[in-house]
Amino acid sequence: KIKIISNLKEKKYINNIKNIIVIASGKGGVGKSTISANIALTISNLGFKVGLLDADIYGPSIPLMFDIENEKISLIEIENCKKILPIIKYGIKILSIGFFSELNKAIVWRGPMASKAIKQFINESFWDKLDFLIVDFPPGTGDIPLSIIQELNITGVILVSTPQIISLIDVRKSIAMFNLKQINVPIIGIIENMSFFSPKESPNKKYYLFGEEGVKKMAKYLNIKFLGEIPIIESIRKYSDFGCPIVLKNEKKIYYIFLKIAKKII
Ligand code: ADP
């Protein structure tokens, strides 16, 4: 049985954070970080206080997407307690496991260690008050994602998958993980990324490169809310690579895709 939640904004602050929303996927490369970044910025644009935590130990990509790769982390003393100060960019507060890349290189992360680091990021950082902390989660169902979930007080999880079978198989494993009795994290819904491609010359034509509506069908079958589909669009990739996520650009059609999804989360 899968719980579906709504009205997250009615929630109270725990540790200054109202909602921790995890963005997860079965495998890497499906667009989890791209979606985390654009959703965080869209929710912020709607007037909420938003933080973005890049917890993807295996390949932190948020610093590149926000052009903050060379930022140095500083500490601030609050009530005799040293806290990590998130980087503020485009109006949201950001921390990434990638800021500790020297550490990353030296350490082979193990589950308990990774989860401790992420827990510290959440509890020992000066986020101030947040309505939403969006967490870009490590992909898969290994030891590391599993120990991180157990440490966090997650409001709900959003899954990302592309429509091809190989991605669907893996995202089903993730769904099973979040539904484990000991974990039992509410699943808010699933997003299909790279759903189709429409060439500029014929914008109404849709090419389903990875199969048609695979995620939508699976969501229906598993009784999980379908949050929306995002086509393959060159500028989504381009602006991420340039350090400025697409929703900050004046591309109305794409903004509305993310807005529609964001409204189902808040
Ligand atoms: P993940 O976090 O799941 O590993 P990323 O968000 O890093 O995946 O995305 C992988 C690559 O695909 C990136 O280069 C990203 O810009 C690109 N990408 C993601 N979603 C789309 C999309 N809808 N259209 C075009 N490119 C995309």
Question: Distance between CA atoms of 193 and 124, rounded to whole angstroms?
Answer: 33
Binding residues: 26-33
Question: For residues 151 and 201, is the Cβ–Cβ distance under 8 A?
Answer: no
Instruction: Give the model's pLDDT for residue 154.
Output: 93
Q: Which of 137, 110, 115 is nearest to 52 (CA)?
A: 137
Instruction: Give the model's pLDDT for residue 7.
Output: 52
**Given CA atoms 27, 31, 35, 38 in this order, what sign does their dihedral have?**
positive
Give, for ligand 1, the residue of 62, 97, 237 to mutate: max count of ligand atoms closer than 8 Å to Cβ.
237
Instruction: Give the model's pLDDT for residue 13.
Output: 64
What is the identity of the amino acid at 142?
A: G
The atom number, within ligand 1, closest to the CA of 139 reads 3
Give, for ligand 1, the residue of 166, 207, 240 to mutate: max count of ligand atoms closer than 8 Å to Cβ.
240
| List of the chain residues with pLDDT < 50 | 1-6, 9
Instruction: Give the model's pLDDT for residue 3.
Output: 45
Q: What is the ipTM of this complex?
A: 0.99
The domain defined by 15-265 folds into Rossmann fold (3.40.50)
Q: Which of 85, 11, 92 is nearest to 44 (CA)?
A: 92
Question: Distance between CA atoms of 78 and 173, rounded to whole angstroms?
Answer: 41
Beta bridge partners of 207: 197
Cβ-based neighbour number of residue 64 at 10 Å: 16
Residue 2 CA, ligand 1 centroid: distance in Å = 28
Q: Which two tokens stand for residue 108?
A: 């082979």
Convert the pLDDT of each residue in 106-129 to its tens digit: 567 778 888 888 888 888 899 999
Instruction: Give the model's pLDDT for residue 129.
Output: 92
236 lines ligand 1 (CB under 6 A): yes
Convert the pLDDT of each residue in 27-78 to its tens digit: 999 999 999 999 999 999 999 999 999 999 888 999 999 999 988 888 999 8
Residue 28 CA, ligand 1 centroid: distance in Å = 9
What is the secondary structure of 88-100 as a DSSP string? EETTEEEEEGGGG
Instruction: Give the model's pLDDT for residue 2.
Output: 43
Dihedral class, residue 228 (left if φ above 0, else alpha if ψ from -120 to 50, else beta): left
Residue 83 CA, ligand 1 centroid: distance in Å = 32
The atom number, within ligand 1, closest to the CA of 233 reads 24
Three-state DSSP class for residue 228 = strand
Instruction: Give the model's pLDDT for residue 4.
Output: 42
Q: What letter would DSSP give residue 138?
A: P
Q: Which two tokens stand for residue 145?
A: 């994602």
Residue 181 CA, ligand 1 centroid: distance in Å = 32
Count of H-run helices and E-run strands, the chain: 9, 10
The atom number, within ligand 1, closest to the CA of 231 reads 23
Residue 12 CA, ligand 1 centroid: distance in Å = 33
